[in-house]
Amino acid sequence: MNAGISLPNNDFDAVMLSAQEHQHVDRLTVATIIPDEASYDRFLKTSSQDLLEHATQYVIHRLKETKRWDNTVAYEKLALRLGYELTERFIDYARTKLPMRPVLLLDSFIAQSFSQLDLISPDWPTLSTPLGQYLDALISRAVVSRDGLVTLFWHLYSMTPSHVMKVLAIPEDQQARIFKNYARWRKGGWQQTMIVGGLSEQVLLELEKDVDQDWRTVNNTVCHILDRIQPYYRKSEPSHYLCRDKEAWLDLYANNYDQEYRLWHLAMCQGCFKSLCESQMNGLADELQPLTHFQVRPYGNHVSIDGKHKRSQNFVLDLVK
């Protein structure tokens, strides 16, 4: 059972209940001991946030210790994401280790996870480059915005709305939504994402220049960065992590289930996307090369964050085709 992490909220009743329970449960310290299941359940109700904070601080500590820390927002966000992910997994794991001392067990769980999963890779500094920063902004947005998620297919694979409908096998009565996702993204979502991600028009122009001069190298770098960072941006429900083999993908489409998973997983997992295209399903392979083809601007081009680029008239026609 995943007890989940209860983060602070504005629910007055929940806050009051939490405060009352705090009176009966110690704050998280090295000395805290959880003897049995009932105590563990009480502990989770009041101390999930403490666990998350401790995990994040310990992740930062490990990154600094291994000289892979950089004092940038990208690294802070990375530490928070890793802390969240590890705490979620720890909550299930710790239940199987009762009685236990949560602080010590959490530290050893994180240390173990780092070495097993190679979470700390020397490639992380790529997040400090403009391209890494761009991808971080894009994918962080996709985690919270459907427009951002759907249009990842454009930015990563140069897929038009029609391609997306085909790849996801969107039923006819829902296809207008994909057009809307693309239109809203171009109208404001992308610009907002760039601004939040700290990307200036100048940086975007330079990225475009890199693509023009050597698109192969840029695409290879995009693949390389994505391979490393994708697991940390995926939706937190474990059911969205699972990769499937070709047969499982074909079954999913043939019997038309897991539409949500389809969108999430294919946008975020290059391996499964390639395998699906290679399966020749829906004639995808004839039409699409499952290759990364990075796009800086939203579909339709001529959109900037400083309003200086004029919008293409043809673009609107493209969308209503």
Q: How far apart are CA 109 and CA 270, in angstroms?
A: 29
Query: By CB under 5 A, which span of 97-105, 178-186, 240-248, 287-295 interacts with Zn ion?
Result: 240-248
Question: Tokens 């939490």, residue?
Answer: 18
Position 243 contacts Zn ion (CB under 5 A): yes
Query: By CB under 5 A, which span of 157-165, 175-183, 264-272, 281-289 interacts with Zn ion?
Result: 264-272
Q: How far apart are CA 129 and CA 83, in angstroms?
A: 23
Closer of 55 and 276 to Zn ion (Cβ): 276
Query: By CB under 5 A, which span of 103-111, 169-177, 184-192, 239-247 interacts with Zn ion?
Result: 239-247
Closer of 244 and 293 to Zn ion (Cβ): 244
Query: By CB under 5 A, which span of 35-43, 97-105, 224-232, 235-243 interacts with Zn ion?
Result: 235-243
Query: CB of 271: closest distance to Zn ion in angstroms?
Result: 5
Closer of 135 and 272 to Zn ion (Cβ): 272
Burial 67-105 (b: 16+ CB within 10 A, else e): eebbeeebbeebbbbbbbbbbbbbbebbbeeeebbbbeb
Position 195 contacts Zn ion (CB under 5 A): no
Reported in sequence order, the residue ranges of 125-217 that DSSP labels E, i.e. its strands, are none
Q: How far apart are CA 123 and CA 229, in angstroms?
A: 10
- Looking only at residues 83 through 142 of this chain, which bind Zn ion when binding is defined by CB under 5 A? none
Tell me the per-residue interface mask from 265 to 294 with Zn ion, x by CB under 5 A, - otherwise.
Answer: ----x--x----------------------
Number of residues this chain uses to bind Zn ion (CB under 5 A):
3
Query: CB of 233: closest distance to Zn ion in angstroms?
Result: 13
Written as six digits, the tokens of 186 are 């171009």
Closest CA to 151 of 136, 139, 133: 139
Closest CA to 158 of 310, 311, 291, 268: 291
DSSP 25: S
Query: CB of 230: closest distance to Zn ion in angstroms?
Result: 9
Q: How far apart are CA 289 and CA 278, in angstroms?
A: 9
Query: By CB under 5 A, which span of 127-135, 152-160, 198-206, 243-251 interacts with Zn ion?
Result: 243-251
Q: How far apart are CA 177 and CA 150, in angstroms?
A: 10
Closer of 91 and 272 to Zn ion (Cβ): 272
Task: Assess contact for 206 and 296: CB atoms under 8 A.
Answer: no
How many Cβ atoms are within 10 Å of 271's Cβ, its own excluded?
11
Closer of 183 and 272 to Zn ion (Cβ): 272
Query: CB of 241: closest distance to Zn ion in angstroms?
Result: 8
Closer of 53 and 227 to Zn ion (Cβ): 227
Closer of 43 and 264 to Zn ion (Cβ): 264
Binding site for Zn ion (CB under 5 A): 243, 269, 272
